[in-house]
Structure 1
């Protein structure tokens, strides 16, 4: 029976990729220390989609939440389940998840980031998940209270209410994301401290580059999404084609992209939201690792919205994207041809060797 289970449930865009990379890279060392990461990162993601019963879950996925929970319960030490999609679970789904892990001591871990950085990254995440709405429309919907999904799925406050209320206050943990310029390992050490991972147990590497899309690149992707119609639906078809060949291979590799973000005309609104968020979290009984002051926006600089780009700028980026995709297609084709020749050479060697052996055996007979 598991002793403690740590559920790291989000929020998205709070450094979870870096934390998960450290965890899985050091999986064997953690297991030797009595800390299990059950199954695999893909399996935990599949279990999340099963728990939430999302419409874009792939029908052929074998890992369910019950299967993951059973694996966690069977471990005699501590267990870590980490998937930022868990935070979007409903109250009933969260209750089911926590109950399925008992009688282990369940801890809920949530990360929070300042809204000045969260708002544009959330919109970009939605575009990379096949959305087609404009940045200004997204901000307006949040501002008018018409997009509750933002607060439910991308901020710590409501996640803590849905999940944290299911466990005692001492088992609720809020990690604040350090401001830009902080040492890269600060976030990891905050998580490790909660989970009881010794400082010298895991090998750390500086986080790999996870660049955001520039304004023009995001606008190109948004228009592609609109043009796709019913082709390449979420989740796997879109990830395997659009995400792989357009976003990861081309758009994210472009340098010196025009940065975008919330305009200074909305700075006061964002600051007010941040203060409200901090007050709610200060009043909520949980353990804060970091400093709630880190949820206040800093370095609020003006930036252009993708909505402000003219068609000439978008067209130029689209043409450069097509050229880059042609180069990518050529590289893939060359690699495939080389692989084909290597396989053919091995087959010929085996066939020729087999013919020679049969001739020698016939000669001996």
Structure 2
């Protein structure tokens, strides 16, 4: 029976890719230290989809019950990590926690300041096949017609959905450090909660974060998504084709120099929301790892939104993307094995060679 189970449920765009890279590249070292990550990375994603009754995987090998059973067989501590878990309903979260008992269940939720969260979340929605403009997204949040943003992408509500299921001392809110902090700060906060000693994990092998696209590149992707129509539906077909051959192979490789953000006209609104968020979290009984002040935006720079790009900027990015895909296609072509000569053709060639020897 597991002693303790730590469920990292999100939120998305809070450094989860980096943290998970550390976990999975050090999975053997963690196991030797008595900490188990059941299955593989894909197992946690499949189990999350099963728990939330999503049809993202055609033939999943793992269900939530299988993951919970693997956790229950381990005599030490267990880590389950998937940022999609935070969007579970009250009933789904309750089922997950119940399935892991009698182990001591801990809930880990990460939070990031809204000034950085808004553009990151919108970009993630585009990379998940979304088609709405940045202005439409912000306007929907501002008018209260996109409540899913607060439900699925911020710590406040998911902390209550999951955290209320365990005692206050087993709820952990981890704040994402601001710019300028050492790169490993976020990992060390997670490690401190779980009790992973320094030196167990090699942080140098945990390659980077989930690379962000520039304003022009993400706008090109949004327009491609819109033009695709019903082709490559979310999620698996889109990831297999568009994510792999366009986003990962080409768009992420560009310099992505033109950054984007909420825009100066909404800075006061975002700052006000941040204060409300900090106040609400300060009143919630949980273990705060980091500082709630880190959720207060400090660099409200006057960067443009993607909708403010000049059409030539988008056109130039589209042309460079086509050139990049040509190069990518050429590399794939070079990797293809040469077609094998048919048996009949080889036999014919040998016969002809033999006849020449007799003439």
1:277-316 residue pairs with structure 2 within 5 A? 277-316=277-316
1: CA distance between counterparts of 2:27 and 2:56?
A: 26
SS of structure 2 residue aligned to 1:340: coil
Whether the aligned pair in 1 keeps the contact of 2:18 and 2:209 (CA below 8 Å) is: no
2: CA distance between counterparts of 1:227 and 1:211?
A: 24
Give 1:340's match in structure 2, choosing from 338, 341, 346.
338
2: CA distance between counterparts of 1:37 and 1:210?
A: 21
SS of structure 2 residue aligned to 1:174: strand
Instruction: State the 1:29 CA deviation.
Output: 1.2
Does 1:251 pair with 2:251?
yes
2: CA distance between counterparts of 1:148 and 1:99?
A: 27
Partner deviation per Cα, 1:34-56 (whole Å, 9 max, x = no partner): 110000110110000010112x4
2: CA distance between counterparts of 1:148 and 1:140?
A: 12
Whether the aligned pair in 2 keeps the contact of 1:36 and 1:75 (CA below 8 Å) is: yes
Instruction: State the 1:24 CA deviation.
Output: 1.0
In structure 2, the partner of 1:185 is: 184
Whether the aligned pair in 2 keeps the contact of 1:217 and 1:257 (CA below 8 Å) is: no
TM-score by length of 2: 0.93
Distance verdict in 2 for CA 1:175–1:32, change over 3 Å: same
Comparing 256-265 and 4-13, the one that deviates more: 256-265
Does 1:8 pair with 2:11?
no
1: CA distance between counterparts of 2:34 and 2:250?
A: 41
Distance verdict in 2 for CA 1:77–1:19, change over 3 Å: same
Instruction: State the 1:201 CA deviation.
Output: 1.0
Instruction: State the 1:62 CA deviation.
Output: 1.8
> Is there any run of 5+ residues in structure 1 with no aligned partner, and where?
352-365
1: CA distance between counterparts of 2:310 and 2:276?
A: 36
2: CA distance between counterparts of 1:41 and 1:58?
A: 14
> Is there any run of 5+ residues in structure 2 with no aligned partner, and where?
347-359
Aligned length: 344
In structure 1, the partner of 2:262 is: 262
In structure 1, the partner of 2:350 is: none
In structure 2, the partner of 1:74 is: 73
Instruction: State the 1:313 CA deviation.
Output: 2.1
1:25-64 residue pairs with structure 2 within 5 A? 25-54=25-54, 56-64=55-63
Whether the aligned pair in 1 keeps the contact of 2:17 and 2:209 (CA below 8 Å) is: no
In structure 2, the partner of 1:157 is: 156
2: CA distance between counterparts of 1:95 and 1:340?
A: 54
In structure 1, the partner of 2:88 is: 89
Distance verdict in 2 for CA 1:41–1:61, change over 3 Å: same
In structure 2, the partner of 1:113 is: 112
